[in-house]
Structures are given as structure tokens and as C-alpha cells.
Amino acid sequence: MRRWAFSAIVLLALLSLAGCDGGRADSFIASSHCILNFYHLVDIPRPHEVLEQHRAFLEGREVRGRIYISHQGINAQCGGVTADAVAYVQWLAQEQSLFEGLRYKLYPADDHAFPRLRLKFRPNLISLAGGMTAAPVTDAQARATPLDPLAWKEMLAQAQSPSSGTKPVVLDVRNSYEWDAGHFEGAQRPLEDEFRETPTAASRTPLPHHLEGVDPATPIMMYCTGGIRCDVYSTHLRAQGYSNLYSLDGGIQSYLDAGVGEHWKGSLYVFDSRMAVPAPSPAATGEEGEAGLIAAAPCQVCGGAAVLPHMNCANIDCNKLFIACPACKTHLKGCCSEPCMTAPRLLRPIKDAGVYGSWTAYAGEDGVAAAAIRSGRGSRRAQRRAVRLAEERSRQRAKREEKMERRRLVEQVMAACAAKAPAEAEDPAWRRLREARLKLMAQRQDKLRGPAHAAAKEARGS
């Protein structure tokens, strides 16, 4: 028997929640469970003490999901029995002064959206190359300027207008597979499959591929699912010299919750049992009038119209996350390709109330599946990551080779001119030409090294 029964008291509490900018409160009338998302960037001097306070409050309550606390704040994707989740967020927002002004999102659910509770201290609230502990994420001035959904919509319209002047760069700071589910118009597909691969000062190149060569004065419109990745990553871009940064306040979730569907394609990938949620757009309405899970990218098998949610390949040695059309899903029997259909360790996906079951649930009567599971998960995920890193190294090597080739050609031309006409080398016009060429070479090198190097060079010169 549940510790808390869903009642009119809970509904009244939902209707009066301060700081809730998620789903409609009246949608909870028939919902015994809910999904709760929030983050709050604030300096926490003693995070382990705060962690134990949360642990004590959640003891005996049906709340599951991921709740991470660090010296720089809290980040949570959780949910559970509605009364318990609401009691937790009310305690946090109304009784804990450290989290004053906390904003959160609540959405109805049929059952638990997470298998267990993971409440822990993490030095980094999100995984980022080099970590985020040195980034000034708790300083609002160091982050991008937040835009509400309507302001974001207007700025996107300007970016798409052919008559506009300097066009903003729309930067998706999520993972590539999230872009496949849905994205804003004008945003290019990220090269990274995991956010920890997003370039930082600790990476081989400090900037995302889509910002390479972009003037630091260009407006950059950043967006992610809930907002935390933009708040964190914008501090890095500002340190690289980009000063005209904007982010979608509350992330894509707030944009779609506000009923603004313009300039959005597809559905939204989420990190809970739903895996994807529809956008409030007439284009996403199915035959029965219910929102359909349309993907922005085509089927990754045949190129046709794909439907969500994503699937993990049934070959556990592959486990690739992919999208496909209904025909390919049926034909390949849950695999991402025909070779995977004949793999020796092939398991069918099993879900319980929207949550993938433990591996023990896959074992069949013959024991073949159990033996396959005991032999390990395989190495395909590590192999895919190695391929991505090798491609990035190849791109950087090509840039270096191009730069060296330009330098070699310039030096050859200058040497030939000096050998052919040594008297001309002392001519004022020749000296001016040579200085202009050297200046051009230096500017190209500074551009390749990034805005931060140019700013440091200018500071040394002053």
C-alpha cells in the first residue's frame, strides 16, 4: 500500500505551487505518479551535509531518479508517487533557503519513470571534458543571456529571414541522437554522441565544429533540453571570447510547455522512461488526434520517415541507439542492421512499465540468454567512441597540415623572390608587401587557435 494516497489535497497543492513552470496542474487529476525535473546553480559550501538532509527527507518516500549535488548546485531528473514528489520539491523550494527561487517542472506519469533512486554527491553536475568545477557557473553574468520562449521565437524568425543582417548561429549543445529526435530550424547536427565529448579548453580543439571560423561578435543562440547544459557551456564560450551569447530559458521543455511550436521540428528526446515527448504542433497529430512521436531525422536504415522512441539494438554486443521506421523495426526484429540479426548474443528488449528490466529478466528457459549475459556486455560502445575520437584527430591533423602547407608555399615564394631580385628585397614597396604577408599569416594562425588566444595576444601587446 502506498504511503501517500493521491487526493484532492495533493491537487490543491499542485495548483498553488510556486516556481512550477512545467505541465498543467489540472493534468494531474488522474495521475498517481509524476516526473519532476529541476536544477539550481548556487554555491554550496558543505554539499555533503546538504546531501544527508535530502537523504533523510526522502527516506520512506517513493521518489526515484537521479539527484546530484555538488559545490555548484543541484541537478535532478526524478519522479515517483505524486504526493511524495510534490512534498519533496515543496520542501526544497519553500523551506531550504539555499535553493530560493528554485524553478522546476512537473509532468504526469502512469507509473515510475525511473527504476531506482540515485542520490549522490558529484563534483560535476554534468559530464564535461575537463570538468566544470573551475567554471564560474554560479555567476549569472558569466552565463548566456536567457531568452523566454517568445523572445527566442522572434530571434529565430530573424535568423531565418533572408533580409536580416548578421545572422545568429543556432547552436544545439545536446547529443547527436537528441538532434535526430527533434531540433530547431537552422541548428546543425552535433558531432558528439555524448556531452562529455563537447569541445572545451581541455580538448584538442576548444570550440565545437559548427563555431570554427565564426566571428566572436556573432550572436550565438544556444539551446538544450532543460537549460543546464547551456548555462554551463556558455561560461566556456564566453572565456573563448564569445560575448554575444543567448540561451533558451528553461530549455526546449519550457518552449514546448508554452505551446510555442514554431521553428521546431520533430519531438523532444527526454532521459526517462518516456524517451520522447511530442511537440504541440498540428504536424505532430496522428490519425486519432493524439500527438504522434515524429522524428526530425529519417530512418537510419532505409531513409524513410522514422518514428520514435529510439531503440537499442537487440544485439548486446552492438547496443547502438538508433531510430527507424515501423517497417524496418519489424523486418530487423529490433536490430540496427541485418548483420546484427545473426549475432551470437541476441536479446529482445523487455520493458516493465516503461523501464527496461534488469538483465536477469532476459534469461530464457534454455539458459542461452543467461549464459550470454554472464559473458559481458561487449565492446561496441567503446569501439564507436574510439572511431569518433579518431575522426576528430583526423580533422585536426588535416588542419595542421593545411596550415603548414600554406606556410611552406609562402616561404618558397618569398625565398624565390629574394634570390631572383635581391635588390628588390630592400625596396620599400617590397618590404610593405612582405610585412602584409607575414601579418596575414599571423592572423590565420590566430584564427585557427581560437578567440581566446587572440585576446591573450592582444592583452600581452597592450
Q: Which are the contacts of 359, defined by CB distance < 8 A and separation ≥ 6?
A: 373
Rg over alpha carbons for the chain, rounded to the nearest Å, is: 26
d(CA 165, CA 163) in angstroms, rounded, equals 7
How many C-beta atoms lie closer than 10 Å to residue 347's C-beta? 20
SS (H, E, C) 145-214: EEECHHHHHHHHHHHHCCCCCCCCEEEECCCHHHHHHEEECCCCCCCCCCHHHCCCCCCCCCCCHHHCCC
DSSP letter string over 366-417? TSHHHHHHHT---SHHHHHHHHHHHHHHHHHHHHHHHHHHHHHHHHHHHHHH
The set of long-range contacts for 214-219, using a CB threshold of 8 Å and a minimum separation of 24, is 214/169, 216/240, 216/241, 216/242, 216/243, 216/244, 216/451, 217/243, 217/244, 218/166, 218/168, 218/169, 218/242, 218/244, 219/155, 219/166, 219/168, 219/169, 219/244, 219/245, 219/246
Cβ atoms of 257 and 155 closer than 8 Å: no
Active site residues: 224
What is the DSSP pairing of strand 73-81 with strand 321-324?
A: unpaired
How far from the centroid of its chain's Cα atoms is residue 168's Cα? 20
**All cell numbers assigned to 79:** 519522479
